[in-house]
Every structure is written in structure tokens, then in C-alpha cells.
Amino acid sequence: MRAMKKSAPRKQHKPRRWLGVLLKLMLAGAVALACLMVYLDAQVREKFEGKRWALPAKVYARPLELYAGLGLNPDDLRQELLQVGYREVPVVNEVGQFARNGDEFMIGRRYVQLWDGAENAARIEVAFEGNTVEDVAINGNPVELARLEPLLIGGIYTAHNEDRDLIQLKEVPPLLAQTLVAVEDRDFYHHFGISIKGISRAMLANIKAGAWVQGGSTLTQQLVKNFYLNQERTLYRKTTEVLMAILLDMHYDKNEILETYLNEVFLGQSGRRAIHGFGLAAQFYFGKHISKLEPHEIALIVGMVKGPSYYNPRRFAERALNRRNTVLMVMHEQGLLSDAQYKHYRYKTLGVTQASDYKNVEYPAFLQLVQRQLREDYNESDLTSEGLKIYTSLDPIVQRHAEIAMQNRLDQTEREYRIARDALEGAMVVAATETGEVEALIGARNPRFFGFNRALDANRPVGSLAKPAVYLAALRSQQYTLITPLDDAPVTVAGRSGTKWQPENYDKQNHGILPLYQAMATSLNQATARLGMTVGLDKVVQTFSDLGVQQELPKYPSILLGSFSLSPFEVAEMYQTLAASGFHTPLKAIRGVTTADGELLSRYGYQVEQSIDSDSAYLIQFAMQKVVSEGTGQYLLQRMPAELNLAGKTGTSDSQRDSWFAGFSGDKLAVTWVGRDDNKPMPLTGASGALRVWADTMAGLPLKPLLPLPGEGISQQWVLPLSQQLTDADCEGAQLIPFIKGSEPTEQISCHAAATEEHSGSWWQSIFGD
């Protein structure tokens, strides 16, 4: 009985006990939910009211400047217009279009904001005579100069590589906003962030499928998912999404939410760049501002929200067309299009720009150079988040020619010399001789490769590219002229430890006595080594420094033949001084930087310093022209007019591991390197490898001839180089050679005497014998 009395109360209090536990759990849940809501509310407010997006810096090529007399192939103009996103049409009716009629172009130029000002939308007429611009007019009026908008060549992105053009709702065609709401969330202006009907519908679909197949998300929920959360399909994430959508709708106006959505949504991929927002999508797919979109274009982009990759119009045109027409049907059903409009736009083509035409090509090697030069003035966070606009010197026409030349020539070389496929690599730097602006940069055989940049970072032995500095040091000393006889006999230099340095010529032959300029033109190692040791290593090293070589070179005899290593970019800086007649200008890639709104932040001018006297520079340029006309660079005469008077120098390192050529015209300098990443020898010299790439590149470009002007300190004389005698212009073997005044030969010889002397043997032979 006592046991029964004790058990009775427990049965009476059990429901009350469970009720208490339940109340406590509910209270704890309510507290937890309240805490979660407070936390989520803070998250929503912090990002939505702060800086919503990290906007990458956008990097632009140079604007194409058109003027009478400009050397330009009409096909290159057409290609650049297509690449910038202009449409080729029979008749130009609006901006963003161009028409070509033979050698005449009509261009509907868009408004252009540049670092140094703006160019208004206008109709530009360009007439060609062959490969030269003959006339330029704007809106029917002849002008001296017309500028086109520059090509967007890349961006400096965050880790997610997101890119967008921010827009305001007032810029968006009302039809686009109405269509988006009609297709994605018809109750957008009436619900409180979530749609109970949508959630119920999705829940039934998921139960029937036995899996998560439908989300039932509103535009607000989609924004929360993209803006705050990840793409996981879990109950916790979905719950968080719902709560944050409610909070977002509580705090902010519907139009503000819609504007944010229009800028956030993912709409495609371009290489590593993620296309976000309708503003950038309008440019990326149609090459026009969002305000200019037509109804069928609006339908396509809105339809892509459902699956940008699946409905990619460039990869899956038929699928994208069906999706677009479905959206057009919704627009018609919702009264956004009339019957006539629906029928008209339904039969329109997709009309997207070609993938290769609009902003789909990046230049990773050049972008690395831009980033390195920008870091001298800007923090990394500024470059990846402030939406800066970087205007550079890259010339897409020159870059395209260089890329094609590099790829095609390396393919051909591997076939001809039976080198393993893709074994060869290459790098190239092209710059303007006067300004030092970099016009093209190749860091790899594959120019789209984001990785090791051989143009900037591949330090390779320069070989015979060092020789112009040796000869320039001799000429600067005023102890030598271009016709000073040099001995190419074997040379031996003893080292401190008893070692001996005995360089040999490439052909293993000795070439006797020959004029200084000819020793350099034919790249003789023995003559160069003897000359450098006679002049002195101190003077040679100083000349390298004056030319722009920044590293401290060891004063070893082997540097005379280029045993030290430089990158192609460093070689270009050295040769730029030679090409600019002794004026050193650091190579630069940036012209100006502005804010996203166009306010000028930085202007990058030219830093010019004369480091080599103009008379000595004139003489070494003459010797380098002889490299092309008489020496190791003669292949260029097979490809290009002799009237260009090109100058250059071939280079081959020990065991033929590196093939170099550096050369320049009156307006362009280019340095080319060809080699192997594994540093194995090649059956190539500078003349058979890098020189061919250089020639293939430059042969397709309009170059100015190299016509350096002699200064007052230069005297031009007709001489017989071997005998160092003045003679008449019409004498056999006579050459017009420049001298620094006071260093000219003093002995005069007539044509008859010269012929008699030649018949009886040279002056050297008459004294020393054979």
C-alpha cells in the first residue's frame, strides 16, 4: 500500500513536468532566435549600408589616335573596332557601330572618358591611301586628330575575380526592371522579403521529388544568397536566408533592393573574370550601355539569370534563343509587349557580339607589369576595391602582331629543327623609342598564360647583346673610331687564380685585322674581348650602367661577351638608351590613373636623362645599322625595306642556350628572346631564332625609318676603312663613315692610287706580310 501511495503522485505530475521542459525549450529557442536575429540584423546593415562591393581596377589600352599621315593598316583598324565592341553594319545609324566601304570608314564613336579628358559621341570618317590615313573628319568637319575609346585589357581583381559596372536604377530601362520582376518574382513589390506561396510551392515540389529541386526564392532571397551567403543547400542556410530576407525588406526600400540585385547577380564568365550585374552584362554581350538595350536583348539577359552557363548565348545559341523567346512570351502575357512587338522581337537573332570581339582577351604579362609599376604609388587594397581606371600605353595592334609572330615562328622552328613540340619558349618587349612607353609585352609562348612572366622575370645570359656597350665604351674614350683596325687573333686573359680565359669566335675561325664597326657587325668574340680589355673593364661597366643596367656587374672579362644575365625587359631598358640617341628613359606602361568617376589621381610623365653623349650615340647607332646591312642581322633585308635603315644586334649565349635579338627603327624598339625553360642547348643562334620572331612582328607594322641626325660634333667622311685614308665618293670600296670631329683620318688617297694599292696588296700586308 505504501508503494502504491508513492507512485500515484508521479503519474499526476508527469504532464506538468514535460510542459515545463517544453516551455523552457521554447523560451531558450526564442532567446536563441532573438540573438540570431540581432546578429543577422547587424550583418545585413553593416554590408548593405557600407561599401557593398570591392570594385577591381580596370586597365585600358591606349586610345587609338587617328590623324592624316598615320601609318595604319585598314584591316587593323577594323579588328580593333570589333575588339572594342563596335558592330560592323552596312549603314551607321547609332553610336557603337561602324561601316567600311573599301578604304573608307564611318564610325559612330561612343562617349569616351579618358585620363586626360573626354571625347563626346560623334560620327567619325576616316579615309585611307594604302596603309596610311589620308583624311579624318568628325561630324563632317575635317580635324587634325580623332580619338577612339581604348580597349579594356583586364582588371586587378580580388580573389573571387568579380567584375561589374555599377549602375543606378534610373539608368535601367523600365522594361528591364519590369521584365525581371515578371519572370523572377511577380509579388516582389507586395511581399515582405519572402513569398509564402513560393515557399509552399517549392516545398511540395521537393517532397514529391524526394530531393531539394526547387528553392521558391524571391528576388530578395536571391540577393541575400549571393550577397551574404554561400551556395550550400542546407536547412540552416535556407533558414538564415529567409530571416535575412525579412530583415532586409524591413530596413530598405524595394527599389534600393532591386538596384542592388541588378548590380550583384552573376551573369556569365569571361576567362577568369566573373561577369556580375546587368550593367557589365549589357556591355559584355551586346557592346552597349544598359540604357540602350532593346526588348529582345533585355529578354535574353533576364532569361540568363536562371542559369548563365546553361544559357550562354555564345556556347549554346539554340538553348539561349528558346529561353529568350520564353521570356518574351512572359513579357507579352504580362502586357509589357504588344502583339506586334512580340511577333517582331521573337524573330530577331540573338545579336550578341562575337566572343573574340568584345573584352574577352586579357594580356597577363602586360598586366603584371602594370601592377608592379602601380604598387609604387598604390596599396593592393586600392587596386582591388576602389574601381580605379588605369590608362596604359599597350597597343593592341602591335600586341596582336607580336603574339601571332611568336606562336607561328616557334611552331615553324620546332618543325624545321626537329625540336620537341612546345619545347621552345619566348618573350618579347616592344616600346616606343622616344618615350619609352611599352606597346606590347609577351611573357610566354601562350600569351593568355597567367603564370611565370619571362619578359620580366626570366634572367638569362645576354651573350652578344652586351657587345654594343663594349664598342660604345671604346668610342666614348675618343681613342677609337669606327674604322680603327682591330685584331681578331686568338686572345688569352690570365685570371688571378691561374685560370685562363680564351674566348673563341662562333665559327672557330680567326678573321685577322678588320675595322671596328665590322668586328661588331659580324659579332667577333676575339676582337671584342681584346678591345674590351684594352679599353678597361671599369669603363665598360660604367657604360653598361649609363645605358640603364641597374645591377652591379662583376668586373670579370667574361662580361665583355655577355656572361651576365638580364631579363628581356632589362635588356629593352638598356637598348632604349641606344635607340633614343643616348637619352635614357625608364620603360613605363602607365599614362594616367583616375577614380571610377573620372577624377585624375596620377599622371605619369616621362623621365628623360642624357646618359650618353649624342656624338658617341650616333656612332654606335651607325655600327648597329651595319649589323643589319652587312652583319649577323642581314635576314631583315629579306623581309623589310632597306630604306628603314634598321639597327640591331643578335645575341647567342654559351652552348646556344639563349637566342636574342634587339633592334629598333625610327619609332619602335623590340627585344626578343627564344629559349628553353629547362636551359638545354638549342640548334639556334640569335639570327636563326629570335631575329625571325622580331622580323615576323615588325614586317606587319608601319615603321618609321631610322634617320638619326648628326650633331655639330660629327663629321661625315668618305674613307677606305681598312687603310684609314680619306678618298673620293666614287672610289671603289669607299664608304661614308661618321667621325667625331678631330678624329678623322688625315691622309688622302686618290682613286687611282687606291686601286694600285689594292692591286699590290693592302697596307697591312705591305708592312707585315700575309
Catalytic residues: 184, 464
Distance between CA atoms of residues 631 and 647, nearest Å: 11
Closest CA to 147 of 135, 139, 138: 138
Using DSSP's 3-state secondary structure scheme, residue 648 falls into strand
Distance between CA atoms of residues 427 and 717, nearest Å: 40
C-alpha grid cell for residue 212? 531539394
Asked whether the beta carbons of 282 and 304 are under 8 A apart, the reply is no
Put the strands of the sheet holding 600-603 in their side by side order.
Answer: 152-156, 57-60, 389-392, 590-594, 600-603
C-alpha grid cell for residue 323? 529561353
Per-residue burial over 249-280, b if 16 or more Cβ lie within 10 Å, else e, is beebebeebbbbbbbbbbbbebeebbbbbbbb
**Alpha carbon 365 to its chain's center:** 6
The CA-atom distances, in angstroms, between 165 and each of 139, 372, 399, 593 are: 29, 25, 26, 17
C-alpha grid cell for residue 228? 551574404
Asked whether the beta carbons of 725 and 666 are under 8 A apart, the reply is no
* Beta-bridge partner residues of 268: 275
If phi > 0 it is left, if psi is from -120 to 50 it is alpha, else beta; for residue 3 that is: alpha
Fill in the amino acid letter for 768. F
Using DSSP's 3-state secondary structure scheme, residue 661 falls into strand
**Alpha carbon 665 to its chain's center:** 22
Using DSSP's 3-state secondary structure scheme, residue 380 falls into helix
DSSP H or E segment with residue 736? strand 735-740
Strands (E), 235-388: 266-270, 273-276
DSSP H or E segment with residue 696? helix 690-698
Closest CA to 698 of 690, 707, 688, 686: 690
- The residue assigned the cell 639570327 is 687
Distance between CA atoms of residues 465 and 661, nearest Å: 8
* Start-end of H helices in 191-316: 196-209, 219-227, 235-251, 254-264, 278-286, 295-304
How many Cα neighbours within 13 Å face the side chain of 661?
30
